[in-house]
Amino acid sequence: MEYLLHIGIMLCIYIILVLSTNLTVGMANLLTMCQAAFYGIGAYIGTYFLMQYNLPFIVIALMVMLATGLTSLLISFASVKLKGDYFILGTLGFQMIVYTILYNWISVTRGPYGIPGIPSIKLFGVWSLNGIYAYFFFALVLAVVVAMIFSRLQHSPYGRMLKAIRTDELSAKALGRNTIHLKTWAFFISAAFAGVAGLLYASYVSYIDPTNFTLDESIFIITALFIGGIGSRVWGPIVGAAVAVILPELLRFVGLPDAVAANLRQVIYGLVLIALMFVRPQGLLGDAKLK
Amino acid sequence: MSYANARKEVFNLLNGVNMAVEEGKVTALIGGNGAGKTTLFNIISGFEKDFKGQVILEGNDVTKMPAHKIALKGLGRLFQGRQLMDNLTLMENMKIASDDTTGESPFEGLFCRKRVAKSEAAKEQRAIDILMKVFGEDNKYLGMLNHKASELSYGEQRLIAMARLLMGNDRLLLLDEPTSGVNPRYIDTFRTIVRDMVEKEGQTVLLIEHNMSFVRSMADHCHYLADGRIIKSGPTQFVLDDPVIRKDYLGL
């Protein structure tokens, strides 16, 4: 049972991450390869607040969102100067820089030694979340709230303008819209919620190190988004996260020979992805295709 | 104004263009392919900044303004070859052309539901009014408001893209080849829209057009652009009957 709850909690964390990625990649057509960097920044900043101050979750979450959002401005600046493929390379660079800082700034992050003993979340400053059941229900509520926020945002006039920019940024400018401003907000919000996912992760596993927030992680998040489908529906990212988190777990029970099981699981997972891109390039529930 | 190409090569595509557009009138800009008409539109609307000269809109110098700010000053544009946003519905395409931006900041979109709902309702009503005025009381587009724009043909998208310019309160409209690639049957609808813009909305229209019967029937004034400058300006009839233009541009 604890195994299932653990998968449930990780699924909720990935739902938040994939939903946040959909705002930039799916809505604003900005393919970012650095979501794990924001996830990591959120985890480390969240850890600092959890260890230093005895504050309610909502206060820490807001501070993490603000701090992570502010770091996203670096990428927003790049998006103004870099277009298309160059922008993707720019986000890759950001991901690598953040990883390198987390790994090498040992006096602050403890680098490869990681940070152990991260305290649990305190809901209102007093009730500490104890046990896997409490974490599961908390993560579930948080994922539902985040999904509702993104759903409302994506169906608001703001979401409509992001979709318009996605199709034709030039025309959106000619209609009097400050597209840089709109995209900067998309990055800010996306990074802020990835930061919340990081905070939840850090307090749940109570130990973090930089290897949790690598480029591989960013690619995993993007892959989950493409499986579910980009666009204005929140069900796409939710289903994508579910498939990406649960499918590798299911493959454990297929009965593969032990010697090759790990590698074969990766191969099967890869084949499923390639097949999906052929059959449904817009993902399982997407309403837009990648340009 | 003058414009050199992106590689700063010596030749000037536009070289000493000086053009005035009279308020409340339709002015046509004609000239051969590659004469620099669209470049001139890009300069006026702020998409091209690498030029020497000045752009004055209703007495305000907008030369250094970014494109979206010039648009907010009252400049609307129909692009050559571009149509509606195909992943948005017909109604969404109308709404994004409105100058009311309520709910387009994330916080307003999330938290000010009443204000957003009120502004959305007003935009919907305005969109329906425009569609009824342009295409008639009982037109097929009213039943397609929630359909994706990609379901419409090229010509229809072009018509709606024109009609949606009426959603904003623009002062000057730049129309880049509005009738190109469009079924002749729709040309009269284009005429209705342009007339509405000028006579009912008091807007000023500057259009690039190769369809001379459209230019003759719509434009009050005409500028002929060739060799990087305005060679001839004046009432449409006067310009189009010029022997040099008849020979060099119209091939008559």
Inter-axis angle of helices B154-163 and B113-135, nearest 10: 120
Domain shared by B10 and B65, yes or no: yes
Number of domains within chain B? 2
Give A177-231 as a 3 state SS string.
CCHHHHHHHHHHHHHHHHHHHHHHHHHHHCCECHHHHCHHHHHHHHHHHHHHCCC
Report the CATH number that the domain containing residue B202 is assigned in CATH.
3.40.50.300
CA distance A132 to chain B (A): 32
Q: Which residues form the domain of B119?
A: 87-148
CB atoms B104 and A161 under 8 Å:
yes
Which of B41, B48, B68, B157 to mutate to test binding with chain A, by most A CBs within 10 Å of its CB? B68
B19 vs A291, more confident: B19
pLDDT at A97: 93
| Tens-place pLDDT, residues B80-123 | 877 788 889 999 999 999 988 888 999 988 888 899 999 999 99
pLDDT at B12: 61
pLDDT at B80: 85
| Residue B82 near chain A (CB below 8 Å) | yes
CA dihedral A236, A239, A243, A245 (to 10 degrees): 110
CA distance B215 to chain A (A): 24
Distance from C-alpha of B226 to C-alpha of B17, rounded to nearest angstrom = 10
Domain shared by B131 and B167, yes or no: no
Which of A23, A151, A173 to mutate to test binding with chain B, by most B CBs within 10 Å of its CB? A173
CA-nearest residue to B164 within chain A is: A175
What's the whole-model pTM score?
0.88
Distance from C-alpha of B95 to C-alpha of A156, rounded to nearest angstrom = 12
Q: Which of B125, B148, B171 is the last residue of a domain?
A: B148
CA-nearest residue to B168 within chain A is: A175
CB atoms A182 and B82 under 8 Å:
no
Q: Taking CB atoms and an 8 Å cut-off, how many pairs form between chains A and B?
A: 95
Output the DSSP codes for A42-55. Answer: HHHHHHHHHHH---
Distance from C-alpha of A210 to C-alpha of B77, rounded to nearest angstrom = 50
| Residue B101 near chain A (CB below 8 Å) | yes
Distance from C-alpha of B185 to C-alpha of A32, rounded to nearest angstrom = 46
Q: Which residues in chain B are closer than 8 Å to A151, comparing Cβ atoms?
A: none
Is pLDDT at B210 greater than 50 in this prediction?
Answer: yes
Listed in sequence order, the DSSP H helices in chain B are: 37-44, 67-72, 90-95, 106-111, 113-135, 154-163, 187-195, 212-218, 236-240, 243-248
Is pLDDT at B7 greater than 70 in this prediction?
Answer: no
Distance from C-alpha of A121 to C-alpha of A118, rounded to nearest angstrom = 9
Domain shared by B234 and B198, yes or no: yes
Q: Which of B103, B132, B148 is the last residue of a domain?
A: B148
| Residue B74 near chain A (CB below 8 Å) | no
Domain shared by B108 and B164, yes or no: no
Give chain A's length. 291
CB atoms A176 and B88 under 8 Å:
no
Which B residues, 107 through 136, put their C-beta within 8 Å of a C-beta on chain A?
108-110, 116, 119-120
pLDDT at B10: 45
CA-nearest residue to A186 within chain B is: B106
Of A153, A157, A173, the CB nearest to B71: A173
Which of A158, A180, A188 to mutate to test binding with chain B, by most B CBs within 10 Å of its CB? A158
Distance from C-alpha of B229 to C-alpha of B15, rounded to nearest angstrom = 6
Domain shared by B93 and B77, yes or no: no
N-terminal to C-terminal alpha carbon distance within chain A: 42
CA-nearest residue to B120 within chain A is: A157
Q: Which residues of A touch B (CB under 8 A)?
A: 149, 152-153, 156-161, 163-164, 166-168, 170-179, 182, 185, 189, 287-288
Q: Which of B97, B127, B148 is the last residue of a domain?
A: B148
Structure tokens at A272: 């499923």
Q: What is the pLDDT along chain A (291 residues), one digit of tens a residue?
A: 888 999 999 999 999 999 999 999 888 888 889 999 999 999 999 999 998 887 888 999 999 999 999 999 988 887 777 777 888 898 999 999 999 999 999 888 888 888 898 888 888 766 777 788 888 999 999 999 999 999 999 889 999 999 999 888 889 999 999 999 999 999 999 999 999 999 999 999 989 999 999 998 999 899 889 888 887 788 989 999 998 888 888 877 777 777 777 777 778 778 888 888 888 888 888 776 665
CB atoms B109 and A173 under 8 Å:
no
Domain shared by B169 and B77, yes or no: yes
**Lowest model confidence (mean pLDDT) among B66-70, B183-187, B213-217:** B183-187
CB atoms B104 and A157 under 8 Å:
yes
Domain shared by B169 and B241, yes or no: yes
What does the domain layout of chain A look like in residue ranges? Answer: 2-212
Domain shared by B63 and B173, yes or no: yes
